[in-house]
Amino acid sequence: MESGIEYWTAKALLDWQVEMGVDEAIGDEPIDRYALEVSKPKPKVAALPDTAPPVPPAPPEIDHNALARESASAAQDLAGLKAAMAAFEGCALKEAARNLVFSGGEAGAPVMIISDAPDREDDRAGEMFAGRAGILLDKMLAAIGLGRSGDAPVYMAPVIPWNPPQNRDPNAAELAMMQPFLERHIELAAPKVIILMGNGPCHALIKKSGMTRLRGGWTEAAGLPAIPMFAPAYLLTNPAAKRDAWADLLSLKARLKDLT
């Protein structure tokens, strides 16, 4: 087949390519290096579904009040009740407190004092009425022949076993959550009379508050005769109320005499 280029012209072109360093042929057909490459189609990305995947349902909310009732009712003795309260995680007061303050005095005593929540000194010591209020309480009890121990002991339990932050009073929700433990505590201790020593116990057990109105008379709490009485901490800051506290102590002494 005849070429369209003369021999000498073709030879001159070939010589020029050899001088430029070409030493082999790449292909039989010429390639235009300046031509644009045909763009390759981009791989298709799978389209996302129109609807998002279903959101898993939220875990059911824990009913801590129901758990408190179950845990309290399962306790067969005071040691078991203390262990159940220590294991209970429903009350946030536990997180900030140092100690669980469970009880004081002697179990089985005819008089059971239900006090307000532990204060800072009680929390540090891990026992009830550990500070100045405790010294005053011991004097009050001794005045009518009672004590934390001895021939005529009393038994004591706080309305809530943990010291609230900043020594605040427990709120209504906290009192309601821990009430099953308190009621079971009274059942297991089996006292004959109860002293409601402060607003917290009155609110929890007789659904009333206002000690200046409540003190001075008997009522019923947890199916037992109960007398509301000023707490020692209140008497330390309100000495004038000691006269009323003494009258309540005499009323308690007379009631105990009737029970014997």
| Confidence class for position 19, pLDDT limits 50, 70, 90 | confident
Which residues have CB under 8 Å from 160's CB, separation 6+? 91, 93, 117, 170, 174, 175, 178, 182, 200
Classified as helix, coil or strand, 22 is coil
The residue count for the chain:
260
Class of domain 64-259 (CATH, top level): alpha beta
217: phi > 0 → left, psi -120 to 50 → alpha, else beta; which?
Answer: beta
pLDDT per residue over 57-88, tens digit each?
A: 766 778 888 999 999 999 999 999 999 999 99
Report d(CA 126, CA 120) in Å as an integer.
Answer: 10
**CA neighbor of 229 nearest in space, from 240, 239, 216, 219:** 216
Give this prediction's pTM.
0.76
| Confidence class for position 1, pLDDT limits 50, 70, 90 | very low
**CA neighbor of 78 nearest in space, from 152, 154, 153, 181:** 181
pLDDT per residue over 108-159, tens digit each?
A: 999 999 999 999 999 999 999 999 999 999 999 999 999 999 999 999 999 9
The DSSP 8-state label assigned to residue 146 in this structure reads -
